[in-house]
């Protein structure tokens, strides 16, 4: 069994090819109206999920450029067109699946990542105008939902709870502002990241990084949290916050080493882990986090940890079976684990591809 530490170009291609082909099936399952939320062997393909369709665009553009594959660019642009078409009149995007009428702060922010990248990659002036308008509309709605203290409390997954994984939404807003160039947005996001940074603990962990207040967090939402703080800090040139995230990475490495490089599926704020399952999506997100720490610091232990996190995942990617699962990753291992039980979520493949992108082998990747 090849691992992320010894992936040849051939194996890297085989696994990323399978993942990208599965995403095409995920797109086709909705007749080209967004990426299906997930596949379940019991209920089949679900409806489209606007939130993750949004940030999948970023991944598709990365691979289109890396592999010089025009069809991936076309898929990203088709998804962008669909997202623009389903935006609410007030600028928001829906919670949960396509067709839902309830707006969501976090989901709207995630879609900004795709719209921003599509704007940057698009040469069509009329399309860029449409995308810019959509971005401005969504950002204005998100700014209007902010509380005076810089937090988002309305339109949440759990009403009234503002989890610290919203740091990822702050990063999405800052990414959008790289196009909009509005100093007021930057200032509001400085305030917002300051609010959420109050949850960073002295041990490098982050309180309330999960879906529910006071509960352990899946590594999925931990990945949102850590990456959100780090990327926001980079865009804001906040050296103090960058140092805090380096500490988080150091502490996480120590926890992994103490457990023979095993990752828990979820952790509490004292780094106590539930090792009864793996949250495969979260492993991939934490691999990206460690790769980014390596890029920022040059410290090899972060790159090695990125590999180890991916090592736990690659063997669970389906490389055989029917096309509805071939190339996909289950939400949990074992399959009946508590995160996305009995499902293959599209965002698991997105973050798998992102982690693989960071660790792609040297040489001509197009060969």
Please say if the pLDDT value at position 7 is more than 90.
no
pLDDT interval class at 366 (50, 70, 90) = very low
Is 286 domain-assigned?
yes
Residue 25 CA: distances (Å) to CA of 29, 34, 328: 6, 11, 10
The Cβ of residue 188 has, within 10 Å, a number of other Cβ atoms equal to: 18
Is 364 domain-assigned?
no
Four-residue CA torsion sign, 4, 314, 293, 301 = negative
The parent domain of residue 179 ranges over 11-358
Four-residue CA torsion sign, 298, 67, 224, 272 = negative
Is 166 domain-assigned?
yes
* pLDDT tens-place string over residues 87-114: 999 999 999 999 999 999 999 999 999 9
Is 129 domain-assigned?
yes
Q: Is residue 272 within 8 Å of residue 327, measured between CB atoms?
A: no
CA 329 – CA 315 distance, rounded (Å): 10
Characterize the bridge pairing of strands 332-333 and 38-40: unpaired
pLDDT interval class at 4 (50, 70, 90) = low
Q: What is the mean pLDDT of residues 109-126?
A: 96
Is 30 domain-assigned?
yes
* pLDDT tens-place string over residues 35-57: 999 999 999 999 999 999 999 99
The total domain count for the chain is 1
Is 1 domain-assigned?
no
Predicted model pTM: 0.96
CA 190 – CA 353 distance, rounded (Å): 30
Is 221 domain-assigned?
yes
């Amino acid at each position: 069994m090849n691992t992320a530490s010894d992936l040849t170009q051939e194996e890297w291609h085989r696994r990323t090819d399978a993942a990208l082909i599965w995403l095409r099936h995920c797109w086709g399952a909705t007749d080209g109206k967004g990426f299906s939320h997930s596949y379940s062997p019991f209920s089949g393909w679900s409806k489209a999920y606007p939130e993750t369709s949004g940030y999948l665009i970023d991944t598709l553009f990365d691979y289109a450029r890396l592999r010089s594959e025009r069809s991936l660019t076309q898929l990203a642009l088709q998804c962008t067109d669909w997202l623009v078409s389903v935006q609410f009149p007030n600028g928001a995007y829906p919670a949960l699946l396509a067709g839902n009428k309830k707006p969501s702060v976090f989901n709207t922010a995630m879609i900004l990542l795709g719209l921003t990248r599509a704007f940057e990659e698009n040469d069509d002036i009329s399309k860029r105008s449409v995308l810019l308008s959509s971005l401005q509309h969504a950002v204005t709605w998100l700014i209007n939902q902010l509380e005076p203290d810089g937090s988002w409390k309305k339109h949440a997954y759990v009403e009234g709870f503002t989890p610290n994984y919203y740091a990822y939404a702050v990063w999405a807003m800052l990414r959008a502002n790289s196009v909009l160039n509005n100093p007021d947005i930057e200032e509001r996001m400085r305030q917002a990241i300051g609010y959420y940074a109050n949850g960073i603990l002295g041990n490098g962990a982050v309180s309330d990084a999960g879906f529910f207040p006071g509960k352990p967090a899946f590594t999925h939402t931990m990945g949102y949290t850590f990456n959100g703080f780090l990327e926001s800090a980079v865009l804001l040139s906040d050296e103090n916050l960058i140092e805090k995230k380096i500490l988080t990475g150091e502490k996480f490495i120590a926890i992994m080493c103490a457990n023979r490089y095993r990752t828990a599926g979820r952790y509490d704020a004292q780094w106590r882990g539930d090792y009864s399952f793996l949250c495969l999506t979260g492993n991939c997100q934490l691999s990206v986090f460690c790769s980014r720490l390596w890029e920022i610091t040059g410290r090899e232990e972060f790159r090695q940890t990125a590999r180890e996190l991916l090592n736990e995942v690659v063997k669970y990617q389906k490389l055989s079976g029917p096309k509805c699962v071939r190339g996909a990753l289950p939400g949990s291992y074992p399959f009946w684990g508590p995160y996305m039980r009995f499902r293959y979520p599209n965002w698991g493949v997105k973050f798998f591809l992102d982690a693989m992108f960071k660790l792609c082998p040297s040489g001509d990747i197009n060969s």
